[in-house]
Structure 1
Amino acid sequence: MADSASSRQELTLRSGVDFRTQTALARREAGRDVITARAVELFESRDYDGITVSDLAAAAEISERTFYRYFASRDDVLIEFGVRGGSRIPDQLAARPADEPPLQALIQAIAHRNAAAQEHSRAWNAIVARLPAKYAFIGEAVGRNIKDRIVPVLRQRLSAEQIERGDDVLLVGLAWTIVASVAKANHSTTYTEPLVLEAAARARAAFVAMDANLPGGPRD
């Protein structure tokens, strides 16, 4: 018992969060994982508008009351699924060479998501393609959440002046648009293909040529 208590105390000191809180957070995350995974199976196989919270709860083998402890609505589950597609981007960005131009580093970080993320993108695109009325709302929420995770990492590559003028937010939107656009233009769903990365580099060069002051360009 003493060893167990000591281990919990050490864990608390290292993380700044007590053991019980960490355990509760882990359980909550696991619960969200299960609900999201089961919900996606329904989203892929059935009409979205015909799926109710009751259906989602039944698929996850929980009560509706328990469902609402994790998510506020059906849309929130779909947003959660969308956000997870970009969960590795901050780590990928942090791992890029420190001397790589910010825009190029972002393009590479987005493009080099792992195979699981690429499969996620295919599933996500298939689901939202059937939801034109909700796409703007869902897409905006997902994009905002992913952006909020990427920006703090990106700021480590920018000067105070660049951050002050809003280059961090501009770069995130620009890099994501470049990668998505060239992937679509090349009819590719696999962002790691050399062709897509080469096209992304050409697109970046075109933007820089139009405006040498573009963040991530030769003057930055």
Structure 2
Amino acid sequence: MSFRTQTANARREAGRDLITAQAVELFENKDYDDITVADLAAAAEISERTFYRYFASRDDVLIAFGVQGGSRIPDQLAARPADEAPLQALIHAFAHRNAAAQEHSRAWNAIVGRLPSKYAFIGEAVGRRLQKMIQPVLRQRLSAEQIERGDDVLLLGLAWTIVTSANHSITYTEPLVLEAAARAREAFLAMDPGGTRD
């Protein structure tokens, strides 16, 4: 990649970050259906034409904000001890966040909690993108057989559900979470009528 390309990419990312940061207050305080691209552009002090250089729609801004919250997870997972169980490593990567990441989660949860159900695709899009970011790092901890039977997808789903549930629980302890995860995995495998995941 040339220096010019790197510089252009850096400028593009900076522009996207600026628009996203300015949009958060609107997303938190105004009904989503009432927010327009003109509102987002005005908040970022740019024209609508400039907005469309960075995002195709209002939804894309919110998706970008959601993905930002998980952008550190792959690095946090890679930094976990190599001999740590994959699910435990994932839980730590998801749960051990700095103050900025915790504030992001608070804002994201507040925004998503107010979204009408017709926008469920936004959360799904964020989940898919985060999964694509995390899966390659997680797969380095798994055997070819585990990857083939879909353990990477299962573990990601379990870790995400466990950490989300723990965020709302005052009784969270790691042993209880890991025990619950083991039971969930057994239940998941038991549902496979063909036995192909044993």
TM-score, normalized by length of structure 1? Answer: 0.80
Match of residue 116 from structure 1: 100
How do residues 23-42 of structure 1 correspond to structure 2 at under 5 angstroms? 23-42=7-26
Aligned length: 190
1:129 aligns with 2:113: yes
Residues 94, 163 of structure 2: 8 Å contact kept: yes
Listed as ranges, the gaps of 5+ residues in structure 1 are 1-16, 188-194, 214-220
Residues 111, 197 of structure 1: 8 Å contact kept: no
Match of residue 13 from structure 1: none
Tell me the distance in 1 between the aligned counterparts of 2:2 and 2:12: 16
The AA in structure 2 aligned to 1:85 is G
The AA in structure 1 aligned to 2:49 is R
Listed as ranges, the gaps of 5+ residues in structure 2 are 191-198
The AA in structure 2 aligned to 1:36 is T
Residues 31, 70 of structure 1: 8 Å contact kept: yes
**% of aligned pairs identical?**
75
Runs of 4+ in 1 over 6 A off after TM superposition: none
Please say which structure displays the higher CA radius of gyration.
1
TM-score, normalized by length of structure 2? Answer: 0.89
Tell me the distance in 2 between the aligned counterparts of 1:84 and 1:151: 16
Match of residue 2 from structure 2: 18
Match of residue 10 from structure 1: none
Tell me the distance in 2 between the aligned counterparts of 1:32 and 1:196: 38
Q: Secondary structure at the match of 2:114?
A: coil
Q: Secondary structure at the match of 1:206?
A: helix
Match of residue 194 from structure 2: none
Residue 211 of structure 1: how far off its partner (Å) = 7.6
Match of residue 82 from structure 1: 66
1:200 aligns with 2:184: no
Tell me the distance in 1 between the aligned counterparts of 2:81 and 2:104: 26
1:65 aligns with 2:49: yes
Match of residue 136 from structure 2: 152
